[in-house]
Amino acid sequence: MALMTAQEYIESLRKLNTRVYMFGEKIENWVDHPMIRPSINCVAMTYALAQDPQYADLMTVKSSLTGHTINRFTHLHQSTEDLMNKVKMQRLLGQKTASCFQRCVGMDAFNAVFSTTFEIDEKYGTHYHENFKKFLTMVQDNDLTVDGAMTDPKGDRSKAPSQQADPDMYVHVVERRPDGIVVCGAKCHQTGSINSHWHIFMPTISMGEADKDWAVSFACPTDAEGMYMIYGRQSCDTRKLEEDASIDVGNAKFGGQEALVVLDHVFIPNEYIFLNGEYEFAGMIVERFAGYHRQSYGGCKVGVGDVVIGAAALAAEYNGVEKASAVKDKLIEMTHLNETLFCCGIACSAQGFKTKAGNYQIDLLLANVCKQNVTRFPYEIVRLAEDIAGGLMVTMPSQKDFNSDTVVGRNGETIGQICNKFFAAREGVSTEDRQRVMRFLENMCLGAAAVGYRTESMHGAGSPQAQRIMIARQGNIQGKKQFAKDIAGIKD
């Protein structure tokens, strides 16, 4: 099958029997739901750009499995150039959507599971690697969107999976059959889960022998029997349900998506199983996936950051302060921070290396440094954007007020006329344009988009402490001490 178009992708979702719940009710037509559709539009952009010759080198690539032209989001990285192009592609999509485009988790899962299954088979003589290659070939040939599902609810985090009062706090096997397994549990904060055709489930922590039933990885269609999604709320999300509120929404076309994915006795056939009790490899999948996904943030968050910087510069221009030295300096600082994140994404890619399986892995230390910076710099970028925009970003009347014909003034002025008068921008700039950039910045800094930029920068791909643990492991302090001893003339 050829690469899907954006419209073909959207129509393909309608064919799924995905079970989606929101506000305590089942959503029948979730594809067109005003709170969900912006996130679908984001994924659709990954298909649209792949059809554009201008972006062909970034968005498409030859499959290492079939030799066919495929979307890069379904690719196994074959070189450090591939790793760098991944980051550049993610920045491009961030620039085009100012939001989370949701296919990164699947791409990162592909590469982590591919190399890990090779090493499991090498040790145990299992067939997980062949299972995965057949699955990924199907994904590539059909240009599917696949969600990478890793984060378990975890329950009491001081206890291992096997020690939990409720075993469902981590996804686990409840029955093993000759033809497959039955699984229960859930995955939290799942980016793009509803918008995906399939899911790859992975362990979320390193495990011991007692946790064998929780050491499981597999692929599952999104509309499998027993699987359903509960949509996650976002700040200001119900603005999307209001009439005549496209300006108030901020980014009316695009948005991110998170959901709780529940597995209620879901059957997984043998051919879709990639890990089943080999507990010592659970940590390997986690570490490799986390590394790839922390690399991703050096691209996607940078692209969104480009848009935040642009919106802040527009706000300054509309306010008539773009020439002020303090404003210029703030924009310089925002750019410096944003490009530093991009440097980290490129650096961990350029330092990548070939795995035993043949695909390329990023430098884990630099990937974790990248994500550690992402937990900090976007917060400062947002703070500076709010500083430049001014308080109107969060105190402006609604779009309905600006359009209101209710008379309130002594001379017959309407609420709309009053709002447009007192919130006017500099000469030559319409009040509506000022409205739009302020609401857009509110959405990026504080609203629904902040979930995919500011807050996700903190918790996505693991908390800051998770990166610090990996930096401690990868930092080679003993080697650095030896450097100092050698130069200082200290003998052991």
Which residues are identified as catalytic?
A: 100, 104, 191, 258, 293, 297, 300, 456
> 194 near 18, Cβ under 8 Å?
yes
Give the integer Cα–Cα distance in Å for 174 and 192.
27
Give the integer Cα–Cα distance in Å for 436 and 221.
39
Q: Quick one: how far is CA 252 from the chain centroid?
A: 19
* Residue 173: C-alpha distances to residues 209, 310, 413, 440 (Å): 14, 49, 68, 45
> 226 near 440, Cβ under 8 Å?
no
Task: Look at residues 403, 373, 386 and name the one whose alpha carbon lies nearest to residue 471.
Answer: 373
217 phi and psi angles, rounded to 5 deg:
-140, 140
Give the integer Cα–Cα distance in Å for 241 and 207.
44
Give the integer Cα–Cα distance in Å for 372 and 461.
10
> 122 near 115, Cβ under 8 Å?
no
